[in-house]
Structure 1
Amino acid sequence: MADRVAKLASQRAVVIFGVSNCCMCHVVKTLFTEMGVSWMAHELDKDPHGKDVERALAGIVGRSPPVPAVFIGGRRVMKLASQRAVVIFGASNCFMCHAVKTLFTELGVSWTVHELDKDPRGKDVERALVGMVGRSPPIPAVFIGGRLVGTTDQVMTLHVGGQLVPLLRQAGALWL
């Protein structure tokens, strides 16, 4: 279902997942409309797979209920995030990014990093990640198997709880 969310999120530059009777969803749509932004909405209560999409969104955005969930420039982020089993969005001078990369290296994981401060389109990617991660700055933002795991806190929580290695194995990042 995460693939379905990624596909839906990549249909336009701004995609809003919501519910038709959600006042915050209405506020977000109104805001974008007033700014002259062309957006697309996916109303989960009108989608036959809405509950499945909602569960997948909750995993991506890290909260329940996950609406409104806004993806800005999500197409580029989701494309980059799906290129390898472990993808880290970070910055070259970020010590928390370094800590996450070190953890994965020590686990024997092959990862790739997109350093936003060295990417000419890094600000656009950063804005998209803020919407996905729910905080600013959104780095490091770690994707495993094309799905957003979260920032350093979420990665370390998974590691301490013994859930990171199985997740990495499932994504094909670890073979041992």
Structure 2
Amino acid sequence: MAYSCHQFARSAMADRVTNLASQRAVVIFGASNCCMCHAVNTLFTELGVSWTVHELDKDPRGKDVERVLVGMVGRNPPAPAVFIGGRRVTKLASQRAVVIFGVSNCCMCHAVKTLFTELGVSWVVHELDKDPRGKDVERALAGMVGRSPPVPAVFIGGRLVGPTDKVMTLHLSGQLVPLLRQAGALWL
């Protein structure tokens, strides 16, 4: 798949955000002068939770991170954006070329799995309703996908593609198969 310089930069920044969000159990993206960010920081401190904060107004690439977060959380400004349990999601998402987070009775999860099977893709699914830590993973995914419930959440090559509508949009536009090939999920 050919990427423009802008798409490549956006993709690299999305990878950076995902990496930052997975460094600790609780990661907060905020701004130093944001009262809501301060309230969230205070809440986690009072709960005795170890957290880290990335203040976008003090980061030289903060505006780029902010644009990625807007896409992830679905609001502008995106701060505070809180990621909980992101490390576990990142680890699970990198296990195979195609990883699907879903629930066992979700028709949209079934549709995504069927699409990948028909394309000849080997995939793995993590059914959150059968995972003892599924609620933690679901909260982390909701922050990454920008909606709740976040399932199905599809990762290709360890990178978040998104829910069903994003996967289907890629498929209908002819971009899904090249993406799968690039990730090593398809060889033909």
Q: TM-score, normalised by structure 1?
A: 0.84
Find the aligned partners of 1:146 and 1:64 in 2 and give their Cα distance: 26
Q: Deviations over 1:37-88 (max 9, x none)?
A: 4321111232234345445545655666544322101110011011111110
Counterparts of 2:148 and 2:168, CA distance in 1: 19
Question: Unaligned 5+ residue runs, structure 1?
Answer: none
Question: Counterpart in 1 of 2:177?
Answer: 165
**2:69 corresponds to 1:74:** no
Give the alignment of 1:1-150 within 5 angstroms.
1=12, 2-33=14-45, 35-54=47-66, 56-57=68-69, 60-61=72-73, 66-150=78-162
RMSD across aligned C-alpha pairs, in angstroms?
2.4
| Alpha-carbon distance, 1:11 to partner | 2.5
CA contact (8 A) 1:169 1:175 kept: yes
Percent of aligned pairs with the same residue?
A: 86
- Cα distance in 2 for partners of 1:98, 1:137 equals 15
Give the drift of 1:30.
4.4
SS in 1 for 2:24: coil
| SS at 1:130 equivalent | helix
- Structure 2 segments unaligned to the other structure (5+ residues): 1-11
Q: How many residues align?
A: 176
Farther off after superposition, 161-170 or 87-96: 161-170
